[in-house]
Amino acid sequence: MAITSRARRAASRGCIVRGRALRRRLERQDVGHVWRVKAIPFTVSIGVATREAGERDVDALMRRADRALHHAKAAGRNRVEVR
């Protein structure tokens, strides 16, 4: 199945929305520690990649997701980036 650039943009937007919701949900979690009374701040950086039309190389997809993750961290962390 061929995926149009319009469909890829829509899929990317959906991933961003879900990723941001997950990030916000995790931020609200109380991550404590035995020796620490105050909760430890918890942040998440997420890298998203969409599959190219006709692409079968899962490794290439994972490399793009990894690049997006590193871009999210470099851009200030605690964010969702798509590549």
Q: Is 47:65 a contact under the CB 8 Å cutoff?
A: yes
Give dist(CA 11, CA 46) in Å, integer.
15
| Angle (nearest 5°) at CA 29 between 18 and 37 | 160
In Å, the largest CA–CA distance within the chain is 54
Instruction: Quick: pLDDT tens for 8-65.
Output: 778 888 888 998 999 999 888 876 666 767 777 778 899 988 887 788 888 988 898 9
Residue ranges and CATH numbers for the domains of the chain are 5-82 (3.30.70.270)
- What pTM was computed for the model? 0.72
Q: Is 68:81 a contact under the CB 8 Å cutoff?
A: yes
Chain centroid offset of residue 7 CA: 19
